[in-house]
Structure 1
Amino acid sequence: MNNDVGARLITRRPLPYLLLLMVLVPLFTKAQSQLSPQAKVSLITVGPGDELYSSFGHSALWIYDPVYQLDRAYSYGTFSFQEGNFYVKFLRGTLPYTISVNPLMPQFYYWQQENRSVKEQELNLSLPEKQRLYDFLETNLLPQNREYQYKFFYDNCSTRLADAVKAAMGDRLIFPGYVHETLSFRQWIDRYAYEQKPWSDFGMDLAIGSPSDEVATPEQATFLPDNLSAAFADAKIQTDSLEVPLVMDTRELYTATPEVERGWLTPKIFFWVLAVLIAAFTIWQIKTERLNFVLDKILFTVVGLTGWLILGLWFGTNHGVTEWNWDILWAFPLWVPIVFMFSKTKKPAWFSWYLIAYGVMLLAATGNLLKHNYVLIPILLILVLRVYYLNNSLEKIPSS
């Protein structure tokens, strides 16, 4: 949901967009202290894009005043690639995000070129409420206020817009949140990434822990822009005598064209094929009594390094959703360095007990399958097969 449009316009399509922004920004972004009665406020919802950062869509609040030629689309999903130690901060969850403002049309053309649907929902706010919302956003835009600690599930470019509208409308707003479905945070992510970006989905499933398996409340579910849009469509305004819809008009500004089918090599196919090949190789090794641990050295090195990565995300980051990650049961970090402690001629005296303990952990890891990516099934089968082979083979080698 990150939407650093300015940075990407400059880096991906430099000259035309840079010139366009240089011309339009001074003309259309001059802030006014007061809005006219003709001003309108809209929620802009942008569909998912091809890049990982745009997989879940984007939201912005657009305030347009034809009298003062005011054109300001406010986004809370902006970050800068020029930030010092960018990738370290991004991985640790300490990368600062900010609110930014730009005219809508340059952004709209950018989204259109990326083939992302764009929808406008004009809000039925009174003039005082529009003014309060405008003042709220402009106050947030001040240098001392614009930066905030981004939390993907709990405090992001979508949830901040709902907070802004609530602050402007107070008790008049009846906002139940997204009430059409009840899913966990992980299930919501899977819905967006599983089909279109299966490898990214697999990686995210590995990275996030137990907090992501909590069921999102209707309000928490609005961390996704599409859900926020649906929640706004359901929201009401309490007047003296009746309730009226928050959204007074909806316009589809651009509808994305269907994408071509994506590559066939998904994690599910890859790991099932790998499981079949390793099963055949393991059976051949056992029947021919071959002692060769090259495959195990490679396999459990990858497993161990994955475990250290999970451990780093658990204790070394500030995301809040990478803690209590039980994938560490199968991706056990201590395989590195333990995998280098045995060979065809020697093994540690305690290694058999280690294999038994790891087998128990693999059994415990199957409990994760009910709420996790089912790609774990072939992965666990591979690990069970190789632990069985190791246990049988190393029994013939004297302890050191």
Structure 2
Amino acid sequence: KFLSDNCSTRPRDIIEMAAGESLQYPAMGDTIVTYRDILAHYCRNYAWERFGIDLVLGWDLDTALDQRATMFIPMLLMDAVAGATINVDGETVPLVKATTVPIDKSTEGNVRPPTPWYLSPMTVALLVLALTLIVTYRDCRRHEVSRWFDALLFATGGLAGCLLFFLVFFSTHEATSPNINTAWLHPLLLLLAILPWFKKTRKANRWLHALNALVLALLMLAWPWQPQVGNLAFFPLMTALLTRSVTNVFLGSQTTRGPTTTP
């Protein structure tokens, strides 16, 4: 439980047991903060780490926190303890008398540089969407579906969906379930990478694409009202999946590029 039971919360618990009920932390203020807000702050220079957090951690990460819960981050624990007070013989005194740094060692040179914009998840997602639109335009002009492209796109999404489903249904890690991202990344996408290659499954492929397109469209429309905060890079990727599913619905019954396998 890396949020509620980690190397920062355990010292907090020990301090609270030693200080007793008179321990008072400084006021937090009226700002509503969540686990995701705090993690996003500390990952603000590293877009892929933030993308991964937003992908695999569900809406429990978007719960509003009280002062005590924010101390799962060591720096926030240090700030809270530094401003805390206790009651000693009827007098309110600071919990911490002084703050010292045992080892004053600069971290310059040891900190990884920020993710450049051209390597960020958003840039990659926009490139995927742009390539999807180009392939779709060519498909519409030729009245045929590019199965190799769909196989790559939906296989990638399906494998990511397998990871998410494992974390949601089998993992004991904290905050992985429920996760709204399983509505657009799931193992069934693997079928969309396989079914177009067989004549006998072409109709099933179109129906599955129709269902996938409907789910994606509803999810994107309802996103502002669901409880989980998403990464902006998700939306170009969802749009790419939606575009290819719609393309398969309308062009799937026509000639497809490449040989068709008959099982």
Check the 8 A contact 1:304/1:333 in 2, yes or no: yes
Q: Does 1:187 align with 2:37?
A: yes
Q: 2:73 aligns with which of 224, 229, 249?
A: 224
Q: Secondary structure at the match of 2:97?
A: strand
Q: CA deviation at 1:260?
A: 7.0
Q: 1:373 aligns with which of 231, 234, 244?
A: 231
Q: CA deviation at 1:255?
A: 4.8
Check the 8 A contact 1:296/1:386 in 2, yes or no: yes
- Go from structure 1 to structure 2 and tell me whether the alpha carbon gap of 1:322 and 1:368 turns closer, same or farther (over 3 Å shift): farther
Check the 8 A contact 1:330/1:362 in 2, yes or no: yes
- Go from structure 1 to structure 2 and tell me whether the alpha carbon gap of 1:153 and 1:180 turns closer, same or farther (over 3 Å shift): farther
Check the 8 A contact 1:268/1:375 in 2, yes or no: yes
Q: 1:262 aligns with which of 97, 114, 121?
A: 114
Q: Secondary structure at the match of 1:238?
A: strand
Q: Secondary structure at the match of 1:251?
A: coil
Q: CA RMSD in A?
A: 2.6
Q: 1:164 aligns with which of 10, 14, 34?
A: 14
- Which whole-Å CA distance do the structure 2 matches of 1:242 and 1:286 have between them? 79
Which position in structure 2 is the counterpart of 1:306? 160
Q: Deviations over 1:183-218 (max 9, x none)?
A: 2112211111232x2212212221111211212221
Which position in structure 2 is the counterpart of 1:211? 60
Q: Does 1:272 align with 2:130?
A: no
Which position in structure 2 is the counterpart of 1:343? 197
Q: Deviations over 1:7-32 (max 9, x none)?
A: xxxxxxxxxxxxxxxxxxxxxxxxxx
Q: Secondary structure at the match of 1:317?
A: coil
- Which whole-Å CA distance do the structure 1 matches of 2:112 and 2:160 have between them? 32
Q: Secondary structure at the match of 1:273?
A: helix
- Go from structure 1 to structure 2 and tell me whether the alpha carbon gap of 1:368 and 1:160 turns closer, same or farther (over 3 Å shift): farther
- Go from structure 1 to structure 2 and tell me whether the alpha carbon gap of 1:247 and 1:179 turns closer, same or farther (over 3 Å shift): farther
Which position in structure 2 is the counterpart of 1:324? 178
- Which whole-Å CA distance do the structure 1 matches of 2:223 and 2:77 have between them? 30
Which position in structure 2 is the counterpart of 1:138? none
- Which whole-Å CA distance do the structure 2 matches of 1:327 and 1:178 have between them? 31
* TM-score of the two chains, using structure 2 as the length reference: 0.84
Pair member with larger Rg: 1
Q: Deviations over 1:370-392 (max 9, x none)?
A: 71111111111211211122112
Q: 1:198 aligns with which of 47, 71, 76?
A: 47
- Go from structure 1 to structure 2 and tell me whether the alpha carbon gap of 1:338 and 1:263 turns closer, same or farther (over 3 Å shift): closer
* TM-score of the two chains, using structure 1 as the length reference: 0.57
- Which whole-Å CA distance do the structure 1 matches of 2:31 and 2:98 have between them? 24
Q: CA deviation at 1:165?
A: 0.8
Kindly provide the amino acid, as one letter, of the partner of residue 61 in structure 2: S
Q: Secondary structure at the match of 1:271?
A: helix
- Which whole-Å CA distance do the structure 1 matches of 2:87 and 2:30 have between them? 22
- Which whole-Å CA distance do the structure 2 matches of 1:337 and 1:284 have between them? 23
- Which whole-Å CA distance do the structure 2 matches of 1:181 and 1:221 have between them? 12
Larger helix proportion of the pair:
2
Check the 8 A contact 2:217/2:242 in 1, yes or no: no
Kindly provide the amino acid, as one letter, of the partner of residue 296 in structure 1: D
246-255 or 269-278, which moves further after superposition? Answer: 246-255
Q: CA deviation at 1:256?
A: 3.5
Kindly provide the amino acid, as one letter, of the partner of residue 232 in structure 2: Y
Q: Secondary structure at the match of 2:203?
A: coil
- Go from structure 1 to structure 2 and tell me whether the alpha carbon gap of 1:205 and 1:263 turns closer, same or farther (over 3 Å shift): closer
- Which whole-Å CA distance do the structure 1 matches of 2:247 and 2:38 have between them? 39
- Which whole-Å CA distance do the structure 2 matches of 1:305 and 1:177 have between them? 45
1:238-249 alignment runs, 5 A limit: 238-249=87-98
Check the 8 A contact 1:293/1:344 in 2, yes or no: no
- Which whole-Å CA distance do the structure 1 matches of 2:217 and 2:27 have between them? 39
- Which whole-Å CA distance do the structure 2 matches of 1:357 and 1:207 have between them? 24
Kindly provide the amino acid, as one letter, of the partner of residue 23 in structure 2: L
Q: CA deviation at 1:240?
A: 3.3
Check the 8 A contact 1:156/1:223 in 2, yes or no: yes
- Which whole-Å CA distance do the structure 2 matches of 1:279 and 1:266 have between them? 20
Q: CA deviation at 1:181?
A: 4.6
Which position in structure 1 is the counterpart of 2:259? none
Kindly provide the amino acid, as one letter, of the partner of residue 174 in structure 1: Q
Check the 8 A contact 2:145/2:248 in 1, yes or no: no
- Which whole-Å CA distance do the structure 1 matches of 2:192 and 2:149 have between them? 15
Q: CA deviation at 1:291?
A: 3.3
Q: CA deviation at 1:236?
A: 0.6
Unaligned runs of 5+ in 2: 257-261
Unaligned runs of 5+ in 1: 1-150
Q: Deviations over 1:88-133 (max 9, x none)?
A: xxxxxxxxxxxxxxxxxxxxxxxxxxxxxxxxxxxxxxxxxxxxxx
